[in-house]
A and B are shown apart, each in its own frame.
Chain A
């Protein structure tokens, strides 16, 4: 169909630019989420006086729908806290906050799943708390939670479509711009949907392969 060429292929620069912004926002959100999630999780487990604060934060950012959080962070936070200063920052911040809450719980489950005997063996061998954590616990947690972490990245990518609402020029908003210019939504929106679907599919497939290879290396995939 000529329309596909005219509306999608010829506009690929616009769409690719949008995809670039999407990837940027998601990457930043993902990294921040991992750091934030780990921090929240460690505070929750090991820093007793701050535990209720951590729990509250985790619950709050997990339970609030991402759209609501986005609007709240984008419009309310700048007035109270002075940041985020741009909508771009509001975008990745909101995504990161929600995902860090989920990751905090994922990490916690992973840490608690490491059999206690392993820690005891490490202590008996004379390892310190910190050594035990970094050499024994953390690697196993990483292995166990790798699939969930990859999954969280796909969640970030899927949720990122909403940042178009706060005028961040991501793929979604670029495609809507094109629709407003050309008044022909069929090809543009279908192509956009297809790009997102394929992108998410590739990420989760790559994630599965990676997790599988990791597990196989350690002989943990016996079933």
Chain B
């Protein structure tokens, strides 16, 4: 046991390849940023649909949220990468292929749009009706009310929850290696194939992610505490 333990704690091998792994990590960040944009914008749209006056709109919004919130990340990733191009190809009668990066961004963005939609909706519904009435009484258009009165308050109220979702999303980017996006885990598996020494490499990956996420989530926790105090004062 001690031989294996020593081997896996010997993360010097992991350190050797740090340039490659750093490159992979930047891919994780890139995927995260792009997916975040998709998730926020689609999520906001779905949330607004959910509180629309017309019931078909509400129904579409609810459908969107329930489908994507309940879907496992991995199956959505596989589906977007392998099935969606075929469906589009059938529609436009051409052969379509998705670049793995695109599939990753789309899949993660859509899944997390479901979570963000709920966050936005809860935030919007928590705004006192009177605030919106006052806006209308002053002759503000619905668009103006949304952007100047509603959304600023939603952001203030839901920022901690949103930040937690972002951290989750970053953790989720690790699965993009499974459709050959060259992120950290993908590079780790490539190196393992070369070096045939999985122990230090998987341990190193676990340690790296642990440290990064620890930093991020501690930061979010601290920030959220101060933020909540400031907002609820």
Residues in A lying within 8 Å of B, measured CB to CB:
59-60, 62-69, 71-72, 75-76, 79-82, 154, 157-162, 164-165, 172, 176, 179, 185-186, 189-190, 192-193, 196-198, 200-201, 204
Contact = CB atoms under 8 A, between A and B. Distances in A.
B139 to A, nearest CB: 34
Contact of B209 (A63, A75, A162): A63
Nearest to B4: A79
Contacts of B67: 197
Main SS of the interface on chain B?
Answer: helix
Interface of B: 1, 4-5, 7-8, 66-67, 70-76, 78-79, 82-83, 86-87, 171-172, 174-175, 177-178, 185, 198-199, 202-203, 205-206, 209-210, 213-214, 217
B175 A162 contact: yes
B83 A64 contact: no
Given A63-B217, A162-B175, A185-B86, A72 B206 contact: yes
Given A71-B202, A72-B206, A79-B199, A189 B72 contact: no
Given A63-B210, A63-B213, A189 B82 contact: yes
Contact of B71 (A75, A160, A197): A197
27 contacts: A59-B210, A63-B214, A63-B217, A64-B206, A64-B213, A65-B171, A67-B175, A68-B202, A69-B206, A72-B203, A72-B205, A76-B198, A79-B4, A79-B199, A162-B175, A172-B72, A172-B75, A186-B87, A189-B75, A189-B78, A189-B79, A189-B82, A190-B79, A193-B75, A193-B76, A197-B70, A200-B72
Contacts of A82: 1
Contacts of A76: 8, 198-199, 202-203
Given A59-B214, A63-B214, A76-B198, A68 B185 contact: yes
Nearest to B211: A63
A196 B206 contact: no
Contacts of A161: 72-75
Nearest to A188: B83
A125 B185 CA distance: 57
A162 B203 contact: no
Given A64-B213, A185-B82, A200 B70 contact: yes
B97 to A, nearest CB: 13
B166 to A, nearest CB: 14
Contacts of B175: 67, 162
A189 B70 contact: no
B62 to A, nearest CB: 12
B206 A162 contact: no
Max chain B C-beta neighbours (<10 A), residue from A65, A79, A162, A192: A65
Given A157-B72, A165-B178, A197-B70, A64 B79 contact: no
Given A63-B210, A65-B171, A190 B83 contact: yes
A196 B71 contact: yes
A201 B70 CA distance: 6
A65 B75 contact: no
Contact of A80 (B8, B66, B72, B76): B8
Contacts of A186: 83, 86-87
B76 to A, nearest CB: 7
Given A60-B210, A176-B78, A193-B75, 8 more contacts: A71-B185, A75-B202, A82-B1, A159-B72, A164-B74, A172-B75, A193-B76, A193-B79
Nearest to B86: A186
Contacts of B213: 63-65
Max chain B C-beta neighbours (<10 A), residue from A76, A164, A172, A186: A76
Given A185-B82, A189-B83, A68 B72 contact: no
A176 B15 CA distance: 35
